[in-house]
Structure 1
Amino acid sequence: MEFGATLNQRSKLIPYFTVLLAAMLTVSCVESRAQLSGLHITEVMPRNGAALFDEWGETPDWVEITNFSDSPINLRDHGLSNDPDQAFLYRFPHFTLEAGKRVIIFCSGRQSRRVTEIRNLDLVKPVVEGELLHLDAANPESFILHDNGHVQTWLDQSAATHHASQLNPVKAPVFLPIAPDQVPAVFFDGDDDFLELEEIRNARTILWVGSEHPFATDHSRVMFGHTFFIPMIRGANHFLLHPIHSAHLLRFGSLQNGRIIDAAIQPAPVSLSLLRFQTDQPRSINFIGSDRQIPDQNWHGWFSEVLLYDHILTESERQQLEKYLIQRWGLPNRYLHAPFKIPNQAGTLFLSDPAGNRLDVFLITEAPRDVSLARDEISGLFGFSEASSPGIKNRGPFHKGRLDEVEVSIDAGHYPKPITVSLIHSDQRVEIRYTLDGSIPDSNAPIYHAPVTLDETSVLKARAFLEGYLASGTCSHTYLINFKSTIPVISLSGAQDDWYSDERGIYVRGSQGGVNLPHIGANFWREWERSVDVEWIDPEGQRRFVQSVGAKIHGGWSRAAPQKSIALIARSRYGDNRFRGQFFEDRENTEFKQLLLRNTGNDWTSAMLRDVVSQSLMDGLDLNTQAYRPVQVLLNGDYLGLFHLRERANEHFIRDNSGIPSDNIDLVDNTFESLAGDHLNLYFFSRWLLDAETESDGFVEDLEGYIELDNFMDYVISQICLDNQDWPHNNVRLWKERAPEGKWRWLPYDLDATFDPLKVTVSNNTLGRLLGQDTKLTSRVLAAINNNSILKERFIKRFQHHLNTTFTAENILEHLNALADEVRQEMIRQTERWGGIQLGDHVTPVNLDEWASNVDHMRLFAFQRPTYVWQHLAETYALQPPLSLAINLPPEEKGHLLINGFKVNHPVGRRWMAKFFRELDLEITAVAEPGFQFRGWAELNDASESIVVQPSSTRSLTPVFEQIENALPLNLEPFAIASSDYKFDAWPSSMTPGKRPVSMAFLASSSKDPELTIESLSPWGGNYNSLKRSRIMGLGEGGVAFHNTGEPHAGGKGGYAAGAVLALNTQGAQRLFAQWTSGQLTGFDQTYAIRMQYRIGESGSFSSVLNQHGQPLEFVSDSSIVSRALIMGPVE
């Protein structure tokens, strides 16, 4: 931490000196704007968070170039670069920059030399009969404004005079040109902006020019609406039209910039575009940007021009109007993109003419997010600008630099008693202001004069201010005073109004919320997102993480609970666009796009464990489960409750755990709503399933072409065993990679209705309920499986395997007890904070005993449920009750069993009592671990590793394994040589002792001079950097060396160097070739050799690899030579 702090302090000095140098250079060359001529770089945004969007709605860094001459300049073959030795990293296309005009180049790392066609806003619109509405943002005389500058009336330019108005200035949109080209447009904020007009009853054609804001939420935000009717409704995942409710529009096709699109799977454009919709069913419209004034269904984006007609356009009319709109607005919208990015640190940009002569040099320095480096076009000086102005003249004020952050005398964390914190800044001139309410300090915050005493848990935030400089970033520190926790603490902090005010607070009902549950219309039902600082304090009391992110309320009916789930979203507009850290102890992944603080949903009034216990049981199955960690959460220093930190079950969760890019994932719910990607493939699968001949020869292969069968079976079995009562009619999601080989996988989530949540019965026939809902896709897939004899047997065998392993009472109780014990102590705080709260018909536990009673009911379910599931399975498939089979499982280091292809994992040293249906034979295979061999079955006169057993004829089985003499207990994972070549060519001396290469182990011997026949070999456990005694030495790119002396390796960990062994999986490989380089590093009086040997299998003797002369392939040392190396092989 100290090293990082030193780097930060040093780097923060760079901006001031760099800007000062730039200013000095500019003053010596430029005295006023009048002397600026030709092309100049006038503004650079090195850390674009939300200041400007490209045509894909992304926020790459950008550069502005201005033509200060009196004549147009053709930029063709001019160069832009951040490398002094390569002037033409980006070469401009043919593009004329008019005098006094500006052009933006996005430094996105992608190459684009295509630009938007020239807009001609003076074009005259073709005359087409039947025009109902014409709104034109390019006509400045079409607006009547409120005193606050917002649009009161947008005058209809058609003869119909359907003027669009908003009398409430707070809900009125604003005329706001689209940057950077300053395209005329009216902007709707997506919150409550809309316009109302006299009802249009017979709209059949809509032509619209505009764009949706890239930050618009996915909540059916409509362009046109009505007080009562639904003229058009959006689909999920930002799609333009709903596949069912807007079918009347889809039937006649939609166009974007003159191209045919499928509006059911086409997101709304985030860059200026023309859309055309048509229908033969007349639409009634009286709202612009609102659907029945439903909250969060307001348009969020820009309108530039709108045309409505009372008929379906003829082909001639369509072509005329589309040509007019495309030419007028210069569509499609495109920007220039340079193939390099601007690092947010000291650097230089170079603008060159076609001959390579430098026209301008712009010094870059580190800048805060959305703060540009801009040239003051009057003084010629450079500075930081918080009001970036892409495409227009730079606006001040221009700041000299940014102040360092304030430092604190005591680190954030846990303290057993009150503390006093001093605020420190390296510049004595600054004014430090601070807050204790979670808000970011501004110029109205209290001024720091003396150390701050904290006698209760608080969030201290501070910033430095100095005229002429950007205020410092906010330092945020949470101090837990006498708040000790056995689990991590997450501290959230932000403006109080963002959470608790009626006007904008996301955690309260507000003035519009309904009185009855779940308070529809309440603030917490809105899609509002607020900025928040997140700090992570571990159980030892140390802060390990801090980041600014977005926060929004999550969930369905659980939003009505006073303790609400909170989604945390990492976005570039707040800071880092990923959470980076080891948030979950049992997961390797350390990067996340979103995290969820879950209130446990419908289990909040009971045990607060159902979902996590259920998912923990599924964790070892072919299912994608959400990671979990219990945390205590504070909001602005106040205790908010015990939450479950989870991954959020969306496309980002899938990307984080599969590596598939989130924009290449289809995620669909049980209503075929697309939550990410689109639903087309699932729709095709559903249609195929209706007509599929389930007993045909190709059915199984065809079905497996659509879905991951093992995943589906594990999913269904889990839901049945746990009796999820909010399924399959709800809480169903499927996903797949959008690729030819992609297959649908079912995703478990929101399992709060498992474990008999209403305490009614543990005997529900969930399997029967599933098969009875034949309109649900999940039910229809299982029905198809049941109609195929091969798949039905496969399903039953998989089901009985999980009933014998995953969903035994013993295993369920083990998971439940472990998770309950982890939070038991912390539930005291939870019940003190939220005990006795009535939510509908349920009341939260008032103390630890009541909570424990709820957990006990889950234990009762765990104990009794398996018996009923066995019974339901037998009844459904007309099977006799299962028979018991006692299997004496071997210790795991000796071997394991495969039963019907499933590996049996079970506690060692006891008889395993399993159940099997007598109608289904058991295929059992004994698998020996390295160093052991299988000898047979104690009860059978059969030494075969694989046997077929009838449950009715066998009562017990005991596999017999015995240790192989001189076996190597290495437990190597064989390398699949058929998939790629194996290569070992480097080993650093700094490698951790005992560490070994992939699929390889170095060997040690207790014998001083190991021979080929040596016994008692063992894995090398020593280090790789010894210079004395016998040793195995890492030589970096030289490989590894074996050196034996008269003494064993220090400490006796390694003994004497004896060689190395490599494990290869040769399945699928036809011919193998081996080659290695061997040699000696120094001369020896004694002769040593290294020989290559092999064996097939995990036991038995090794045989020598022979060269083309039939001799063993080996390297023999030569005492007369100091050092040498030879390439051995290749040999087959």
Structure 2
Amino acid sequence: MNISGAIACSLLLTAILFFPAPYSAQTGVFINEFMASNGFTLADEDGDFEDWIELYNHSDDTVTVEGYYLSDSDSNPYQWRFPSVSMAPRSFLLVFASGKNRTEGELHTNFKISSEGEPLLLSDPDGNLLDHIPPASLGRDLSYGRLPDGGADFETFERPSPGAPNLPNFELSLTWSHPSGFYDDTLSLEVIVPGENEIEIYFTINGDLPGSDDSLLLSSIELLPTEVLENNPIIEIPTNSSSSPPWYRWRPPGDDLPRAHVVRAAGFKDGEPVTDVLTGTFFVGSEYFTHLELPVFSLVLEEGDLFDHYRGLFVPGNSYDENPWEGAWSGGNFHKRGREWERETHLFYFDEAFEKQLDQKTGIRIHGGGSRSMPSKSIRLYARSYYGEDRIRHDFFEEGPNEYHRLLLRNSGQDFVRTMYIDGLTHLIVAPMGFEQQRYRPAILFINGAYWGLINIRDRIDKYYFQSHLGVDEDHLDLLEFGGFTIVEGERDDYLEMMEYVRNHSLEEEMHFRMVEEWMDVENFIDYYIAKMFIATYDWPGNNIRFWRDRSENGKWRWVYFDNDDALADLYFNPYNHLMDSTNNPWPNPLWSTELFRNLMESEIFRSRFVNAINRHLADTFDPERTISLAIETANSLRTEMSHHIERWGFPESVDQWEQFNMEVLEFLGSRSCVFLEMSKEFFGEDYQFDSLGYCISYVKDEANENSIQLMPNPTRNHLHVVADIPLSIQSYTIVNAAGKQISQKRVTHSSETGEKYKVDVSGLAPGWYLLELVLNKGMREYFPFVKTD
């Protein structure tokens, strides 16, 4: 250091150590508050949550701060210069410490503040140091500043107040006389105030934050059994537009729905809050609660955050008024995204044993694409330190990570009007294939005490998922969607380079296929495509497709399995035609979306591996005995609750219709292996060896006689009725199980006219999938899959 530099540094340190307060006091302008890790406190005009610094003019005069300087460096106090700005007496001035360096509109410095702690300096145009804040290490969404404003004492604030007077931290904490949970009869709920503090308690019962103009608590709150209460009026608010198509248009709820009590209370003194808000959820007395078989979520939040015309997440609102078709399917506030459309909620979670497992604040946003227009919305939960806890910590699923930055309460997407479990079931089916996928568990949701029906607890596929499940650092994650057109995280150059190579080299040549193998996990790609093809996903691969890699030396592209709400429906959907189509349909299989698959199919190595994988998965993963067992178990888990869910939403039309949808799923799973096997044989030809499936025999679709003979009911518990709309003569029947083993055989003599039934007793069979072989007159054979249930 030269002599002049040493002298300057010495003078600066002297000023910092001995003279900051007097000069600040003369000018009246102080650094009053700052935040060094802004997770969710205040967004700038770009929607970014940047560090910020607040100045306060403590004087009675207007002060012009043009030419003043802000800095985070003792050795360089003149880092950022103020433009022409004046501060009125007793006013605040906010500056974002973002590094964006803006002096028009919102003010942004050319530096950021380290949350680990570094000094902040304010200097006047003559270089005089006006204020100096020593380094302070701060957690996320905590601020540090003076109390009172402009005073000499500093505090860390749990309630940051950028651009407004600093707020003291609450020293009092209220508690309930009874914890949130389930109670048999009327509950007298009290609020316990520590010590002998003389404060007034105000409360609300609709989810709103209490204020001094709400109900004053004089003694206790009587919570009556919920069966004597009327429905919460919020369930009468339509959650999509009246112009929505009838198949998913909001329907009025029934009259006899479960309900919970939600209570919020806060302490006030002289009209000002002196405690944080206390929130509780109480299930009282209803017979319904004694028969719960699923876990329960309760969300408590400001009613306007969901239903206000301008800011409500659940309603068409002003967004629909301005542009009715802005979003997929229909416009509405529920199609809005980003942090400005995140709302604070209090989250409770009770397990099947009625034990409270979660009681914390989180953020919520609407999740999904077109399914945002469904009457019931998918909800994305956000854990942030801003809300108190930076994780949602609970073991919702029996294996895997149990801490979440994000968690989904999903409405089952398009399947909301059908079964409420299709996508979750497909994830259970393909679990052995080792994909990056979303775990599934059903639950019941209450919002502000109102019954909101069934939801699906799911993982959220984002950077935190890859970090917690696979240990991939977010700085090394490349996550893309829609053929690499959209970057979710990281970079896309490597993927685009691979696709350029694929376009310009014939993969018939082994050397070029081997080169592509260096880029992508081919085995994962094969399994992923077989899974999507087997379940008959139509709105893909030009939609709902994501792939990722760890940006490391050995990182390869892998495909993420998600969003299969329209699956397990079209038994005869031919995925080979879908994926090899070269007509360039705009949706759902444009050429760009099938390009990689079509080119890989040119490789003999790839085709052989594909066939081998089909044989393996048809014998194991997609074995009807396994898949049908999973489907029956999944439907059974919802059966008790489904009548209430239908009463709430009107979808499906009835429990009987839901049971019919269940039967169609079982029919699909019972027959899809055989159908997919035949399609695969036809596509690959005789040069490839496919393993036979004993239960298939020669079961193929007979277009001419598709509806001439039917089994009713199917699934069944005790008996099958063979019904024909043509004269029918049966000589014998054989029942074969999913493993191809003959279970029973019987010779019969049955002749009937049109519409007469023949009864087959299956009461002695174990639950599962079976094939009924009928030998008709002249030795003609017909094969019919059926499902035996408990």
Q: How does the TM-score come out when normalised to structure 1? A: 0.49
What is the rounded CA distance, in whole Å, between the counterparts of 2:140 and 2:174 in structure 1? 16
- 1:179: which partner in 2? 95
Q: How does 1:62-77 map to 2 (within 5 A)?
A: none
2:125 maps to none
Amino acid at match of 1:521: G
Q: Is the 8 A contact 1:67 1:99 kept in 2?
A: no
Taking the TM superposition and a 5 Å limit, the aligned residue runs for 1:501-540 are 501-513=308-320, 520-527=330-337, 528-540=341-353
**Offset of residue 53 of structure 1:** 8.4
Pair 1:339–1:381, CA change in 2 (3 A): closer
Pairwise mapping of residues 864-943 of structure 1 onto structure 2 (< 5 A)? 864-879=671-686, 882=690, 884=692
- Superposition deviation, residue 617 in structure 1: 1.2
Amino acid at match of 1:858: V
Counterpart position of 1:636: 448
Select the residue among 618, 626, 630 that pairs with 2:430.
618
How has the CA–CA distance of structure 1 residues 636 and 115 changed in structure 2, closer, same or farther, with 3 Å as cutoff? Answer: farther
**C-alpha displacement at 1:178, in angstroms?**
5.4
1:845 to 652, 660, 666: 652
| Distance in structure 1 (CA, Å) of the matches to 2:438 and 2:104 | 41
Deviation at 1:372, TM superposition (A): 3.9
| Matching residue within 643, 646, 651 for 1:828 | 643
Aligned length: 610
> Is 1:584 equivalent to 2:397 in the alignment?
yes
Separation in 2, partners of 1:63, 1:871: 70
- Residues of 2 paired with 1:693 and 1:47: CA distance? 51
1:312-331 equivalences under 5 Å are none
> Which residue of structure 2 aligns with residue 892 of structure 1?
none
User: Equivalent residue of 2:304, what SS?
Assistant: helix
CA drift at 1:649: 2.7
Cα distance, 1:405 vs structure 2: 1.9
Letter in 2 for 1:638: A
Identity %: 24
What's the secondary structure of 1:552's corresponding residue? strand
Matched, 1:770 2:579: yes
Q: Residue 622 of structure 1: CA displacement?
A: 3.1
Task: Tell whether the 8 Å contact from 1:508 to 1:523 is kept in structure 2 after alignment.
Answer: yes
The change in CA–CA distance for 1:881 and 1:362 in structure 2 (over 3 A counts) is closer
Alignment of 1:382-397 (within 5 A): 396=165
Q: Does 1:728 align with 2:690?
A: no
Aligned AA (1:764): F
User: How far apart in 2 are the matches of 1:664 and 1:376?
Assistant: 45
Deviation sequence 1:352-377 (CA, Å, 0-9, x none):
xxxxxxx9998999999545441447
Q: Could you tell me which of 603, 606, 630 is aligned with 2:415?
A: 603
Deviations 1:292-315 (A, max 9, x none): xxxxxxxxxx9649xxxxxxxxxx
Change (3 A) 1:778 1:746: farther
Q: Is the 8 A contact 1:115 1:336 kept in 2?
A: no
- Report how far residue 699 of structure 1 moved: 2.2
Deviations 1:213-238 (Å, cap 9, x if unpaired)?
xxxxxxxxxxxxxxxxxxxxxxxxxx
Aligned partners of 1:684 and 1:805: how far apart in 2? 36
| Partner AA of 2:305 in structure 1 | D
Q: 1:385 to 1:709 in 2, by over 3 A?
A: closer
SS of 2:454's equivalent? strand
How far, CA to CA, are the matches of 1:512 and 1:748 in structure 2?
32
What residue in structure 2 maps to residue 374 of structure 1? 146
Residue correspondence of structure 1 range 487-506 to structure 2 within 5 A? 487-506=294-313
SS in 2 for 1:433: strand
- Note if 1:555 corresponds to 2:376: no
For each residue in 1:115-147, what CA deviation from the matched residue of structure 2 results, as whole angstroms up to 9, or x when unmatched? 8844375xxxxxxxxxxxxxxxx699xxxxxxx
Q: Describe how 1:973-1122 pairs up with structure 2 within 5 A.
A: none
Letter in 2 for 1:708: D
Distance 1:116 1:818 in 2: 68
Q: What is the rounded CA distance, in whole Å, between the counterparts of 1:551 and 1:537 in structure 2? A: 19
Instruction: Pick one of 177, 183, 188 that aligns with 1:420.
Output: 188
Given the alignment, which residue of 447, 461, 469 partners 1:657?
Answer: 469
Residue 556 of structure 2 aligns with an amino acid whose one-letter code is: K
Structure 1 counterpart SS, 2:305: helix
Separation of aligned partners in 2, 1:747 and 1:367: 34
Structure 2 residue corresponding to 1:434, chosen from 180, 200, 203: 203
CA-atom RMSD, angstroms?
4.4
Deviations 1:253-272 (A, max 9, x none): xxxxxxxxxxxxxxxxx642
Q: Could you tell me whether the CA contact under 8 Å between 1:884 and 1:913 is conserved in 2?
A: no
Residues 1:40 and 1:763: Cα distance change in structure 2 (over 3 Å):
closer
> Residues 49 and 574 of structure 1 are in contact (CA less than 8 Å); yes or no, is this contact kept in structure 2?
no
Q: Aligned pair 1:797/2:609, yes or no?
A: no
What is the 5 A alignment of 1:74-473? 103=71, 117-119=79-81, 121=83, 179-180=95-96, 271-272=99-100, 304=105, 333-335=110-112, 337=114, 339=116, 370=142, 372-376=144-148, 380-381=152-153, 396=165, 399=168, 401-427=169-195, 428-455=197-224, 456=226, 457-466=260-269, 471-473=274-276
Q: Is the 8 A contact 1:536 1:546 kept in 2?
A: yes
d(CA) in 1 for partners of 2:75, 2:405 = 32
SS of equivalent residue, structure 1 residue 604: helix
| Offset, 1:439 | 1.4
Separation of aligned partners in 1, 2:557 and 2:334: 33
Which has a greater percent of helix? 2
Structure 2 counterpart of 1:1126: none
How has the CA–CA distance of structure 1 residues 59 and 545 changed in structure 2, closer, same or farther, with 3 Å as cutoff? farther
The 1:618–1:303 alpha-carbon spacing in structure 2 relative to 1, beyond 3 Å, is: farther
CA-CA distance at 1:436 after TM superposition: 0.9
- The residue aligned with 1:979 is none
Q: 1:683 deviation in Å? A: 1.7
User: How far 1:781 moved relative to its partner?
Assistant: 2.5
Q: 1:572 aligns with which of 362, 381, 385?
A: 385
Structure 2 CA distance for partners of 1:717 and 1:115, relative to 1, 3 Å: farther
Aligned equivalents of 1:379 and 1:330: distance in 2? 25
Q: Is the 8 A contact 2:646 2:654 kept in 1?
A: yes
Q: Which amino acid aligns with 1:552?
A: R
Contact 1:583 1:590 in 2 (8 A): yes
Give the structure 2 partner of residue 779 of structure 1.
594
Q: Which amino acid aligns with 1:802?
A: H
Distance 1:101 1:769 in 2: 64
- The verdict on how the C-alpha distance between 1:437 and 1:336 changes in structure 2, with shifts beyond 3 A counting, is closer
Distance between the aligned counterparts of 1:515 and 1:442, measured in 2?
A: 36
Task: Supply the distance in 2 between the matched residues of 1:523 and 1:878 (Cα, whole angstroms).
Answer: 52
1:638-696 deviations in Å (ceiling 9; x for gaps): 01110001112333333332221234322222251112223222222211110123133
Matched, 1:811 2:626: yes
Going from structure 1 to structure 2, the CA distance change for 1:713 and 1:631 (only over 3 Å counts) comes to: same
Matched, 1:755 2:671: no
| CA-CA distance at 1:830 after TM superposition | 0.7
Q: How far off its partner does 1:41 sit?
A: 8.8
Task: Give the match's secondary structure for 2:375.
Answer: coil
Which runs of 5 or more structure 2 residues have no equivalent in the other structure? Answer: 1-17, 60-64, 121-130, 227-259, 585-589, 695-736, 742-790
Does the CA-based 8 Å contact 1:461-1:475 persist in structure 2?
yes
Counterparts in 2 of 1:655 and 1:56: CA distance versus 1, 3 Å = farther
Deviation at 1:713, TM superposition (A): 0.5
Deviations 1:543-598 (A, max 9, x none): 1102222212222222222111111122333332322221222x220221211111
Query: What is the alpha-carbon distance in structure 2 between the residues aligned to residue 632 and residue 687 of structure 1?
Result: 48
CA contact (8 A) 2:480 2:548 kept: yes
Code of the aligned partner of 2:262: V
Matched, 1:480 2:290: no
Q: Is the 8 A contact 2:506 2:602 kept in 1?
A: no
Relative to structure 1, the CA distance from residue 115 to residue 912 in structure 2 (aligned partners, 3 Å threshold; closer, same or farther) is farther
Which has the larger displacement, 670-679 or 724-733? 670-679
1:593/1:363 Cα in 2 relative to 1: closer, same or farther (>3 Å)?
A: closer
Judging changes above 3 Å, is the alpha-carbon distance between structure 1 residues 44 and 883 closer, same or farther for their aligned structure 2 residues?
A: closer
